[in-house]
Copies of this chain bind each other. A is one copy, B any other.
Amino acid sequence: MLKKQLIMEKALELFSEQGFESTSVQQITERCGISKGAFYLSFKTKDELLISMVEYYLQQFVTDVDQVVRSSLSKDIILVEFYKSIFQAFKNHAASARVFFNEKVLLTKKELFQKIIAYDLEMSKSIVYMLEQLYQDELHETKYDVMYCIKGFMKSYSELFIFSDIPLDLDQLAKSLAEKTEIIARHTTIPFITEELIQLTTKPCNEEFSQESLLELIEQHLVGSEDSIERESLELLKFQVENPTYSKPILKGLIENIRLQPDYSWVAYVIAKYFNI
C-alpha cells in the first residue's frame, strides 16, 4: 500500500516533467530507489499505473470540489470559497494538474478517456448543483451555460499556476472570478447549452454505479484498512447497500463519519450518490 503511493508520487513528478510516453519504467524505479521487478509487484503494467493515478488524483479533486459545494456555507461566500478551494488545489498539486488537465495523451487510451470524461461530468454536476442552490429558478434556462463559463474560467486562469510560479493572491483571484460568475448568472439572456445538448454529450458514458460495482469498490477499501470507527461505518454502509434498512439521517451520519478521511472520501461520495443524499 505504501509502495504504491511512493511509485505514484515519483511517477507524477516524472510525468509532469517529461510526459507519460517519454518516461520509462526504469526511470520511475530509479527515482523510487527500487528495482524494476518491485514495480511490477505493485502494478501489472505501466498503463495500470496511469489508470490508478488518474483515479487517485482526480477523485481527490472532484471530492474536494463537491465538499465545498455541499457545505453549509452562506450563499454570499460560497462562490468565493468554491474558487478558492479550486485554485488552492491547483497551487498545491500543480504537478498533477499539469499531467491530468493538459496531457491528453490520456484521452487516446480508450479506458482512460471514459474515466476522465466521467470525472469531468461529476464536477459539472457539482457546479450545477451549486448554481441551483444559489439561484434557484432564476436561471433555469442558462444554468448549463453558466456552468460552462465557470469551467472556462478555471481552465483559463489555471494557466497562471501551471505554466509559471508567480506568487498569486488567491483571495483576490477568487473574489474576481466570483464576481464574474455572479455577473454572468444575473445577466445572461441567450443560452446555448440546453438540457438536450447536455444529454447528447453525456449519453455515451452514462453508466451509473450499480449495486454490484459499488460493493466491489467498498470491498476494495475494506481489505486495506485496520479497525476503526471509519472502518466500522463503512462495513455498516456495505450491509445497507446490500439491504437498506436504516433511515436517511442514519445513512447520512455514517457517510459523514468516513467522508473526511482522505482514503475514504471518494467511496463516501459514491455511496452518497447511491442513496441520493
Question: What residues of chain A have their CB less than 8 Å away from a CB belonging to chain B?
Answer: 17-19, 21-22, 98, 102-105, 107-108, 117, 145, 148-149, 151-157, 160, 163-164, 166, 172-173, 175-177, 179-180, 183-184, 187-192, 197, 200-201
Identical chains bound together, number = 2
B117 touches A163 (CB 8 A): yes
Pick from B105, B157, B179: contact of A188, CB below 8 A. B179
Pick from B117, B164, B180: contact of A200, CB below 8 A. B164
Pick from B17, B117, B152, B164: contact of A155, CB below 8 A. B152
B117 touches A107 (CB 8 A): no
Pick from B19, B149, B172: contact of A180, CB below 8 A. B149
Name which residue of chain B comes closest to A182, CB basis: B187
Q: Which residues of B contact A151 (CB under 8 A)?
A: 156
Q: Which residues of B contact A17 (CB under 8 A)?
A: 108
Complex: A157 Cα to B107 Cα, angstroms:
18
Report, nearest first, the 8 A-B pairs whose CB atoms are least far apart.
A152-B152, A152-B156, A21-B21, A102-B104, A176-B192, A155-B155, A19-B105, A183-B187
Q: Which residues of B contact A201 (CB under 8 A)?
A: 160, 163-164, 166
Q: Which residues of B contact A156 (CB under 8 A)?
A: 148-149, 151-152, 155
A-side interface mostly: helix
Complex: A212 Cα to B160 Cα, angstroms:
33
Pick from B102, B179, B197, B200: contact of A189, CB below 8 A. B179
Pick from B102, B108, B190: contact of A22, CB below 8 A. B108
B21 touches A105 (CB 8 A): yes
Pick from B145, B154, B164: contact of A176, CB below 8 A. B145
Q: Which residues of B contact A175 (CB under 8 A)?
A: 190
B192 touches A173 (CB 8 A): yes
Name which residue of chain B comes closest to A120, CB basis: B159
Shortest CB-to-CB span from A125 to chain B, Å, is: 16
Shortest CB-to-CB span from A170 to chain B, Å, is: 10
Name which residue of chain B comes closest to A191, CB basis: B176
Shortest CB-to-CB span from A185 to chain B, Å, is: 10
Complex: A151 Cα to B151 Cα, angstroms:
12
Given contacts A180-B188, A192-B172, contact A105 B22 (CB under 8 A): yes
Pick from B157, B163, B183, B189: contact of A152, CB below 8 A. B157
Shortest CB-to-CB span from A43 to chain B, Å, is: 19
Q: Which residues of B contact A152 (CB under 8 A)?
A: 149, 152-157
Pick from B117, B157, B164: contact of A148, CB below 8 A. B157
Q: Which residues of B contact A191 (CB under 8 A)?
A: 176
Complex: A191 Cα to B19 Cα, angstroms:
34
